[in-house]
Amino acid sequence: MDDARDFALRHRVLLLRAANAVPIDVALGALPFEERAAERASRWRIGEDLHLLTCSPEDLLVHKVFAGRDRDWIDVEGVIERRRDTLDRELINAELRPLLELNDSMPHLVRMDALFDRT
């Protein structure tokens, strides 16, 4: 499993699969953005005494665009299609731009904007 470890360290995400085969991505927080995203997270009750923190749609887009894998772009498109009118694009751009500058991925911003601009 060295490849999984290397992938997790390089991309700051641990790819898991639940017992029912549902894929789970666990972000390995290391950036100020991730701390702010955790502060904006919503608490969902999934059991009598069990809660799960989930990120906002805006932060999900930031994570997905930053990762930039093919399957992430499918998710980005789906979130934009469903939530286009309620998404805070200023927040998305403010959080995303510095991350994309870190790894020279500014074309991802152009691609995301094109998805927003589709009618």
Angle at 75 between CA 71 and CA 77, to 5 degrees: 115
Query: In DSSP terms, which residues pair with 116 in a beta bridge?
Result: none
Q: Which amino acid is at 102?
A: L
Q: Which helix (H) or strand (E) holds 109?
A: helix 107-117
Cα angle: 20, vertex 34, 95; to 5 degrees: 115
Q: Cα dist. 35→22, 86, 115 in Å?
A: 26, 23, 27
Domain boundaries, the chain: 1-30, 31-117
Q: At what angle do helices 107-117 and 89-102 cross, to 10 degrees?
A: 160
Is pTM beyond 0.85? Reply is no
Q: Give the pLDDT of residue 53.
A: 87
- Per-residue pLDDT tens digits for 91-117: 999 999 999 998 899 999 999 999 999
Q: Kindly indicate the confidence band of residue 16, based on its pLDDT and cuts at 50, 70 and 90.
A: confident
